[in-house]
């Protein structure tokens, strides 16, 4: 994959001294420093050698931070996750349901992210589960995969939950029952929104001691639940999931300039049909906003519920697949291209030496320097 022109890590690096002033807590600060050091000498690395006897090219690589908030460290994890979910696809229509929190809750989200986001997951699942269990709407046991996003396109706080929901469920006699219209219609969103709001606020009241006016204000607005029609085919669900699951607040490819101590990046304006606009922020504001989306340590942001939960799917999925047929997406071979030698493009890179933050020993550096002097530096 080509290195993007500009990176979040570049912004962090040039503000190394000020990061603590731009972030809310030490966990965020630690994360920002990890991202700043990603794929630099500070994290150590390894030397690979091409196994093609004609080539024997040496290549130096620095380790990546593997932090889940890092724009440089998403690709491999995403591929593995998508492959696993692809093997679990049911041959039924899937819906995309999004639960969004009103911005009146932003301060609370920043103050107690773990509690508020946990309530968001629990409430969303409760609403879907109970609408599903209601014979008026479906009368079956449902499942969902939910993914927490906390950002809007301009990087400000905008917490919402993407839920991928099979359009139906299992009835008491163990058979699949489609949602209305052969699974093409889920539940009325207006009704879902009202129940979502009522239950969410009820849970907040139990957790936080706030004045009554605070809760009243939450009822002054309609809360948005959005349900998109089924995906064209279950195969498409996996591709779609991939786009959402391992997404982070901003990808490096969106950054268009880092000139003059400012960060310019593209953003889609969904009120204008997704038109692309260019936004500019000072470094300080960019880092502050990026930090808002660093989740509490260990907080799980992708969760599986109901018949798709890890405890139930092992039992349920094989039965459903036997009943309705399998739906296996086209098998893509795992990407191994990053081990291909960039010079001869035939050999495979084999790691011959690993080193820590102090760097490789002198004699390896000499070997690398000699090689680079003798071969004009053509990077693939
Ligand atoms: Zn990284
Ligand atoms: Zn989102
Ligand atoms: Zn080679």
Residue 71 alpha carbon to ligand 3 centre in Å: 29
Q: Which of 87, 97, 77 is nearest to 238 (CA)?
A: 87
* 3-class secondary-structure state, position 168: strand
Residue 236: CB partners within 8 Å, gap ≥ 6?
A: none
pLDDT at site 380: 38
pLDDT at site 286: 97
pLDDT at site 266: 95
CA of residue 335 relative to chain centroid, distance? 20
Q: What are phi and psi of 49, to 5 degrees?
A: -130, 140
pLDDT at site 376: 60
Residue 133 alpha carbon to ligand 3 centre in Å: 59
The string of pLDDT tens digits covering residues 24-80 is: 789 999 999 999 999 998 999 999 999 999 999 999 989 889 899 998 887 777 777
* 3-class secondary-structure state, position 248: coil
pLDDT band for position 237 (cuts 50, 70, 90): confident
Enter the ipTM: 0.84
| Sheet with 225-228: strands ordered across | 225-228, 94-100, 157-166, 143-151, 302-306
Question: Which of the ligands is closest to the CA of residue 163?
Answer: 2
Residue 9 alpha carbon to ligand 1 centre in Å: 9
Residue 325 has pLDDT above 80, yes or no: no
pLDDT averaged over the chain?
Answer: 89
Residue 63 alpha carbon to ligand 2 centre in Å: 29
DSSP-derived letter for residue 220 is S
Residue 326 has pLDDT above 80, yes or no: no
List the structure tokens of 352.
Answer: 């011959």
Residue 193 alpha carbon to ligand 2 centre in Å: 18
More confident residue, 180 or 335: 180
Residue 128 has pLDDT above 60, yes or no: yes
Residue 153 alpha carbon to ligand 1 centre in Å: 21
Residue 15 alpha carbon to ligand 1 centre in Å: 17
Which regions of 270-313 does DSSP assign to beta strands (E)? 275-282, 302-306
pLDDT band for position 333 (cuts 50, 70, 90): low
Measured distance CA(8)–CA(289) in Å, rounded = 12
What is the average per-residue pLDDT within 252-265? 95
Residue 363 alpha carbon to ligand 3 centre in Å: 21
More confident residue, 187 or 339: 187
Residue 379 has pLDDT above 60, yes or no: no
The string of pLDDT tens digits covering residues 87-118 is: 888 888 889 999 999 999 999 999 999 999 99
Least confident segment among 165-174, 302-311, 330-339:
330-339
The string of pLDDT tens digits covering residues 335-351 is: 545 688 888 989 999 99
Q: What are phi and psi of 276, to 5 degrees?
A: -85, 130
pLDDT at site 322: 86
Residues in the chain: 380
Residue 247 has pLDDT above 80, yes or no: yes
Number of Cα atoms under 13 Å in the Cβ half of residue 103 = 5
CA of residue 364 relative to chain centroid, distance? 38
pLDDT band for position 361 (cuts 50, 70, 90): confident
Residue 262 alpha carbon to ligand 2 centre in Å: 25
Residue 161 alpha carbon to ligand 2 centre in Å: 7
Residue 345 alpha carbon to ligand 3 centre in Å: 6
Question: Which of the ligands is closest to the CA of residue 8?
Answer: 1
CA angle 279, 281, 286 (to 5 degrees): 115
Question: Which of the ligands is closest to the CA of residue 371?
Answer: 3
Sign, CA dihedral 308-310-316-321, equals positive
């Amino acid at each position: 994959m080509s290195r993007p022109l500009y990176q979040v890590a570049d912004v962090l690096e040039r503000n190394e001294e000020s990061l603590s002033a731009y972030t809310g807590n030490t966990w965020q600060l630690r994360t920002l420093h990890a991202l700043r050091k990603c794929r630099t000498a500070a994290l150590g690395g390894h030397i690979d050698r091409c196994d093609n006897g004609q080539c024997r090219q040496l290549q130096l690589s620095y380790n990546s931070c593997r932090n889940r908030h890092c724009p440089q460290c998403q690709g491999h994890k995403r591929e593995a996750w998508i492959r696993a979910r692809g093997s679990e696809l049911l041959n039924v229509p899937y819906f995309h349901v999004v639960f969004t929190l009103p911005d009146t809750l932003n301060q609370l989200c920043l103050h107690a992210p773990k509690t508020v986001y946990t309530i968001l997951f629990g409430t969303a699942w409760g609403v879907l589960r109970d609408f599903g269990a209601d014979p008026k709407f479906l009368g079956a046991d449902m499942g969902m995969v939910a993914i927490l996003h906390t950002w809007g396109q301009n990087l400000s706080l905008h917490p919402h939950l993407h839920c991928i929901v099979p359009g139906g469920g299992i009835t008491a006699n163990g058979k699949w029952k489609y949602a209305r219209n052969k699974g093409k219609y889920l539940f009325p969103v207006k009704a879902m929104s009202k129940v979502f709001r009522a239950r969410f606020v009820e849970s907040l009241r139990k957790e936080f001691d706030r004045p009554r006016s605070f809760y009243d204000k939450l009822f002054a607005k309609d809360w948005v639940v959005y349900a998109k029609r089924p995906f064209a085919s279950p195969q498409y669900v996996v591709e779609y999931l991939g786009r959402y699951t391992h997404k982070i607040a901003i990808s490096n490819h969106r950054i268009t300039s880092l000139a003059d101590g400012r960060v310019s990046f593209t953003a889609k304006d969904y009120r204008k049909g997704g038109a692309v606009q260019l936004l500019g922020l000072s470094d300080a504001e960019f880092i502050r906003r990026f930090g808002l989306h660093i989740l509490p340590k260990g907080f799980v942001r992708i969760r599986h519920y109901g018949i798709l939960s890890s405890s139930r799917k092992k039992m349920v999925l094989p039965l459903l697949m036997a009943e309705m047929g399998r739906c296996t997406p086209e098998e893509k071979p795992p990407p191994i291209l990053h081990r291909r030698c960039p010079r001869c493009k035939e050999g495979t890179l084999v790691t011959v030496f690993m080193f820590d933050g102090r760097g490789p020993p002198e004699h390896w550096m000499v070997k690398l320097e000699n090689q680079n002097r003798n071969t004009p530096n053509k990077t693939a």
